[in-house]
Structure 1
Amino acid sequence: MSERLEDLVRKRAGGEPVCLFAYDLDRLTDHVRAITATLPPRCRMFYAMKANSADPLLRALAPLVAGFEVASGGELDKARAVSGNVPVLFGGPAKTPSEIERALEQGVLRLHVESALELHRVSAAATRLGVTAEVLLRVNLAGPFPSATLAMAGRPTQFGIAEEDLPGVVEAARALPGLRLSGFHLHSLSNNLSADAHLELVAHYGRTVSAWEREFGLRCEVVNVGGGIGVDYARPDRRFDWPRFARGLPGVLAEFPAHVREVDFECGRYLVAECGNYAVEVLDVKRNHGVQYALVRGGTHQFRLPSSWQHSHPFTVLPVDEWDSAVPRPQAEGPVTVVGELCTPKDVLARDVPVSRVRAGDVLIFSHAGAYGWEISHHDFLSHPHPEMVFH
């Protein structure tokens, strides 16, 4: 926990119960700048806005990344609010016809097409508007793939074009009006923690694209290898070894066709997770059936990630000594389960976590809350007040 964050939280203690997301923009930009500086010349880093689309984060990131990857018309609007010129990639498995048309009207750089029907919709919209839509075909590869928290390919999912259907879709992409097929999109998994495994995954993509070029008589200009680089929430100190990954990339890129001018990454979690913290005040401490609970102002309606991924999210206890001596101050020592203010036993942020002491009135700081926290949560369940958003 930084001194700046601690000071920020302590200034709010003593009034309404503390409940806030704090985003360290300096930490964010330092991290992203270090990543993009080590990418080989053919590689470009796009930011996947689904991880966190807060306007101050987008404005901090815009000068450092090659552009934004969006997956809805709403995200496209947020990207364009930052800049009318920022390059935008438009993805997502279920684009509406109106979203496709808006994307083309607003000059997105590229669309990632996920089905034959979607390809026809893009062609129709491009023809109506009198433009040429640059497209990549997203393919659900057969795998196998490295172990990761989520898999989008190598198994039945709603993502991408099945490999057995690819010949027909490639033929359509080359024949339909208003389209220019530039290459393939191959995002297959999420939250891979091994640099070596991720290098092998990217190398596999290169070999696969080379085989498709021979099979279909193509010359790909662009290959999008997705994101999928992870954060270890169980052991936050055990980071993905980006320097090792970056050192290995030039050798891996040698397996890509020489005429592929651009290899795109679209990372989200890995870029922004560490810059965010979720601070919540302990409202009560109690024991039920032998389990100690810390009940906080907040919960999974604001920070759904630990419930969604079924893990105990890492936190530290910030002691707050001020307390009204006229009322009891319950405390716990030893394993504690942190729960929120919702009327459901599933509102759990961390389970059976050893602590030296936690008291009512203390503040818990959940680290690595910059990605898929507020963004994926059911904010208005029970109509509690929203947390404060602090960008510092």
Structure 2
Amino acid sequence: MNLQHLQDYLHSHAQGHSQPYHQPVCAYLYDLEHLRRRADMLRRSLPSQCMLFYAIKANSDEPILKALLNHTDGFEAASLGEILRVRAIDDSVPIVFGGPCKSDIELEGALSHRIALIHVESEHQLRRLNWIAWQRNEVADILIRVNPAHVPQHATLRMGGQATQFGIEEAQVPSLLELIQTLSNINLRGLHIHAISNNLDANTHLALVKHYFDLAEDWQQRYGLKFEWLNVGGGIGVNYADPNAPFDWENFCDGLARLVSAHQPGFKIVFECGRFLAADCGCYISEVIDIKSAYGKHFAILRGGSHHFRLPVSWQHNHPFLVLPQDDWHYPFSRPAVHNAPVTLCGELCTPKDTLAREVHVERLRAGDRVVFLLAGAYGWHISHHDFLSHPHPERLFLDN
């Protein structure tokens, strides 16, 4: 996110709100040119055998999808609604369809909208898809989503290596491979293995991908199969605790190139990144309405909060922010402020859980200043409970060049 965009936005906001009573600043800003540059950089760094898809659950707004069209190799959708969002901007871009729950209507809709690959997550889902494809006189191209028995590291969220609702237990995969050979309307194209989320360590992520390679190669050899695709999911993290120490993408891609060269797999390797691709294209900016103290602690009350930006509460972290001072003060009485002290940044909701950062040291923060939450381009607005307490929605601006 370009900070000049922030200054320009605040300047335009000040021009429009010169009266004493004004609507406080509260907005999402998304930098589309930055997003395109980042997608190009990530895609260019990958070995030629790899493809970069965008997981649109992170941010499915039309301007975001349009910005990434032709700057990624395709999109990953997790519902029919997301499929329709992609098809609204392009009728032929490749889409892969994931998610543990796919209704008959969604499976039929996936076939109708020419999905490239459907990630099958259970035997029942497989049989239903075969039945629907048979009724349509079509063949469905699929990947089996595997829940591996072993995941070689820890991460913020785990979808594999333990009992979860995601994928098919590794020990059950062989029987499913045998079943697929009897289903006339299913074409197995490969595997989907997405076991973790928000991993921050490049070396352990390489170990994870190598483990996925080993599983795929073992099953190919054992069952005489030839996979065309291995979808290794997303799972590459964003360091909210220290934005200056991001996931080492360059080191990861160097190691991945060596891994591909050593294994020479015959399949395409697909990454479906959401957070890692889109997080730093957006910020959430909120005006400080009040500064108060209670029992020796300081609180800043913001216009906005977790109903707009639920990520910090959901992940239980202090979200990174910066303070943009606002020197104008139109009230005829003193200005609440906190100096050189820790402060908790709270939203406007009637719940003590509405906090975006807790006990974070600031040099100075005053009522009327603006707080800018960085890395808010993914899983911000889109996972939030927008209409709780019926406060106004934030402005949402998509900036280009």
Please tell me the TM-score bracket, short chain as reference: over 0.9
- When normalised by structure 1's length, the TM-score is 0.97
Equivalent positions of 1:1-392 (< 5 A) are 2-13=3-14, 14=17, 15-254=22-261, 256=263, 258-260=265-267, 262-333=268-339, 334-392=341-399
Residues 227-275 of structure 1 deviation map (CA, whole Å, 9 limit, x = unaligned): 1111000000111111111111122124546322x11110000000001
Contact 1:9–1:279 (Cα < 8 Å) also in 2: no
Show structure 1 runs of 4+ deviating over 4 A: none
- When normalised by structure 2's length, the TM-score is 0.95
The one-letter code sitting in structure 2 at the alignment partner of 1:8 is Y
Aligned partners of 2:9, 2:85: CA distance in 1, in Å?
A: 28
Task: Give the number of aligned pairs.
Answer: 391
The one-letter code sitting in structure 1 at the alignment partner of 2:316 is Q
Aligned partners of 2:230, 2:165: CA distance in 1, in Å?
A: 21
Aligned partners of 1:165, 1:125: CA distance in 2, in Å?
A: 23
1:208 Cα offset (Å)? 1.1
Aligned partners of 2:317, 2:324: CA distance in 1, in Å?
A: 21
Residues 356-375 of structure 1 deviation map (CA, whole Å, 9 limit, x = unaligned): 11111111000000010011
Contact 2:291–2:300 (Cα < 8 Å) also in 1: yes
Residues 196-249 of structure 1 deviation map (CA, whole Å, 9 limit, x = unaligned): 111111111111111111222211111000011110000001111111111111
What is the aligned-residue identity percentage? 48
Q: Which runs of 5+ in 2 are unaligned?
A: none
Contact 2:38–2:277 (Cα < 8 Å) also in 1: yes
Aligned partners of 2:191, 2:148: CA distance in 1, in Å?
A: 11
Report the 3-state secondary structure (helix = DSSP H, G, I; strand = E; otherwise coil) of the residue aligned with 1:207. helix
Report the 3-state secondary structure (helix = DSSP H, G, I; strand = E; otherwise coil) of the residue aligned with 1:135. strand
1:2 Cα offset (Å)? 1.3
Q: 1:246 to 1:99 in 2, by over 3 A?
A: same
Contact 2:151–2:195 (Cα < 8 Å) also in 1: no
Report the 3-state secondary structure (helix = DSSP H, G, I; strand = E; otherwise coil) of the residue aligned with 1:112. strand
Residues 57-108 of structure 1 deviation map (CA, whole Å, 9 limit, x = unaligned): 1000011111100000110110001101111000000111100000001100
Aligned partners of 2:228, 2:264: CA distance in 1, in Å?
A: 9
The one-letter code sitting in structure 2 at the alignment partner of 1:297 is R
The one-letter code sitting in structure 1 at the alignment partner of 2:9 is L
What is the CA RMSD across the aligned residues, in angstroms?
A: 1.2
